[in-house]
Chains A and B, each alone.
Chain A
Amino acid sequence: MTDFHSQLNNESNTLEAHTPSAEQIAIQLDKVQFRWPKAEHAILDIPAFSIRAQQHLFVKGPSGSGKSTLLSLLTAINTPQQGSINLLGTDICRLKQGQRDQFRADNIGYIFQQFNLLPYLSVIDNVCLACEFSKLRKQKVLAQGPNNKDAVRLEAKRLLTALNLPDEIQDQKASHLSIGQQQRVAAARALMGSPALVIADEPTSALDHDNREAFIQLLMQEVSRNNATLIFVSHDPTLEPLFEQTIDLAQLNKQGDKA
């Protein structure tokens, strides 16, 4: 057991990406081509793309433009057949399967479109889960707060409160929450242990207009506090003005035109 942990520690250390300063590049894609195993053509062909650290980036694009595929590359679930992807100074294409999983656990907070939470865990346990698979994020939490076993829960509570989730729902089962509340819990989990990269895949598509803006404001506020980089994917162009930078995947992806 101790061997396993120390091994994890070592891995975390080698993969650790120090929180980048504003001038540094957070994400850099170079001549990336990706084709699904049985597909004839590449679905993604991105000659060059980069984003500076601590930016809030809005990625727009109609359905089928390869948003999900891009995200699976950025989260190191899939690797491109050609080109390189550099995340926070690490070339993730060169990592082994296990290292990529560890890299994701350590450095990426991910928010799904909906159903982000494990229905059988309480709200607070869902948030704490982010530290279960990453020693690094757990250490960061412990480094910030009181160094005891409650520190993780205290940090989870702090984040939930910061995201306007009242105390009384924090111990409830996640399945009892409204969709808006669930998405905020998901945001809290994505921010646990201050990962350098937060990726949100249409997190507001199930919310109404007012809640949408409020959610994005809260998310940005907390991402900024953590000096993290935010990538926010959506097909809804009305959200675009809220972000400092926008890219249109349909234009970026050369393959998108042909498809």
Chain B
Amino acid sequence: MSNLLRLASNSLLNRKATVLLSLFTIAISVLLLLGVEQVRTQAKNSFANTISDTDLIVGARSGQINLLLYSVFRIGNATNNIDWKTYQDFQDHKSVDWTIPFSLGDSHQGFRVLGTTQDYFEYYKFGKKQPLTFAQGKEFNQLFEAVIGADVAQTLGYELETPMVLAHGMKDIGFSKHDNAPFKVVGILAPTGTPVDKTIHVSLEAIEAIHVGWESGAFLGHAPSADNLKAREFEPKQITAFLMGLKSKIHTFHVQREINDYRLEPLSAIVPGIALHELWSLMSVAEQALLIVSVFVVIAGFLGMLASLLTSLNERRREMAILRALGARPHHIFSLLVLETGIICGLGILLGMGLLYLILAIASPIIQQHFGLAINITAPSQYELMLVACIQISGLLIGIIPAISAYRQSLSDGMTIRI
């Protein structure tokens, strides 16, 4: 076996140019397949890491995906609001540890504004139960103070003390601006890789304050001045949704049922993990399409290798006849060719994996910086190793095709050298 291995590697070295091309084809297809797999798992991870440690999300009665989208991903709008009294009811519930109220509906330069309380900075967790941290500044304390996400700060070039005017709804047009009451930035959050980065946080009271005169949905009345507003006391009347942490996870489904059966108002409570899973499975079509494309790239790589091996076979009949004359049996010839494809495939896989980790190593700091997405460089997962093993085995199986023709040739040619 070892002499065959030496023969195979020497023979491959002799055909460097075509062998290298086949090797690169395999390497690139492996790179793509594993790359897609990495992107898929990392995306899934970062998706699942969007929200953490929250046991229930509560909003007006709606589907769980809709509720998840507007409360966590800031996509779409709420079907209805929740009465402040209802919120207080559950805040005081005996199983409830903490709650974070969300009031959505305003925007600034395309970024959503979230009205909430200081509890947000204490209890909101993402990733693996990581709390929010401040890159600069601190929480809001005054009425017209705002804390902005990392993306907001970077895209708009905002720093601490920058003044900003919020707009009603998502349209930033002249007559729907809350320009009577400008805010100033008091805190900038560190990147999280979640929608928090794209959010502007203000207090619930501030949301109430800027909507004075907007009660009908459009601005009709007289806008009070900022100083006037600051002098007043605001109590929120409505919120959009709230997050809930329970004292014990065992009570999750019990509390969920209680909320869903709430008599005074139609509510929906969802478990974030289950909703995230349902949302992700909606996207699995795209995920599988990616995987199928990369599998086809691998197949194309194999066909390329097969073509070059079969072409070279005719030129190598002489080589086979020499080996036969020296006493090599047809099965030696067969193994020689299978070994050759095995070597090309194996080296291609190693090169492909090497390239993947090189690219990850170079790109991960850049991605972290620009997208706040942490890419973990880890040893290949069991699934990836299985993919790689499948490629290697298919490579060997494909090697059987030229091996069979060489086997037949060596039987029929025998000692005659055809040129």
Instruction: List the one stretch of B7-15, B103-111, B226-234, B358-366 in contact with chain A.
Output: B7-15
Q: Is A22 an interface residue (CB 8 A)?
A: no
Q: Is B248 an interface residue (CB 8 A)?
A: no
CA distance A85 to B150 in the complex (A): 89
Q: How many residues of B contact A (CB 8 A)?
A: 25
With contact pairs A98-B329, A119-B14, A120-B11 given, residues A77 and B324 touching in the complex (Cβ less than 8 Å): yes
In the assembled complex, which residues on chain B have CB atoms less than 8 Å from the CB atom of A72? 414-416
With contact pairs A71-B415, A115-B417 given, residues A129 and B11 touching in the complex (Cβ less than 8 Å): no
CA distance A75 to B7 in the complex (A): 23
Contact indicator A116/B327 (Cβ below 8 Å):
no
Q: How many residues of A contact B (CB 8 A)?
A: 32
Contact indicator B327/A104 (Cβ below 8 Å):
yes
Which of chain A's residues has its CB closest to B332's CB? A133
Q: Is B319 an interface residue (CB 8 A)?
A: yes
Q: Is B1 an interface residue (CB 8 A)?
A: yes
Which of chain A's residues has its CB closest to B326's CB? A133
Contact indicator B326/A129 (Cβ below 8 Å):
yes
Q: Which of A70-127 touch B at CB < 8 Å?
A: 71-72, 75, 77-78, 97-98, 101-102, 104-106, 110, 112-113, 115-121, 125
CA distance A106 to B396 in the complex (A): 31
Q: Is A44 an interface residue (CB 8 A)?
A: no
Which of chain B's residues has its CB closest to A186's CB? B322
Contact indicator A106/B327 (Cβ below 8 Å):
yes
Q: Is A134 an interface residue (CB 8 A)?
A: yes
Q: Is A130 an interface residue (CB 8 A)?
A: yes
Q: Majority SS of interface residues in chain B?
A: helix
Q: Is B377 an interface residue (CB 8 A)?
A: no
Q: Is B419 an interface residue (CB 8 A)?
A: yes
Scoring B residues 313 to 332 as 1 if CB is less than 8 Å from chain A, else 0, what string do you get? 00000110111111111101
Which of chain B's residues has its CB closest to A107's CB? B327
Which of chain B's residues has its CB closest to A74's CB? B415
In the assembled complex, which residues on chain A have CB atoms less than 8 Å from the CB atom of B381? none
Partner of A105, one of B322, B326, B416: B326
Q: Is B378 an interface residue (CB 8 A)?
A: no
Contact indicator B326/A120 (Cβ below 8 Å):
no
With contact pairs A68-B416, A115-B419, A116-B322 given, residues A133 and B327 touching in the complex (Cβ less than 8 Å): yes
Q: Is B3 an interface residue (CB 8 A)?
A: yes
Q: A72-B414, A101-B327 are in contact. List 12 more A-B contacts (CB 8 A).
A: A77-B414, A77-B415, A97-B330, A110-B325, A112-B417, A115-B419, A120-B14, A121-B10, A125-B10, A129-B326, A130-B326, A134-B327
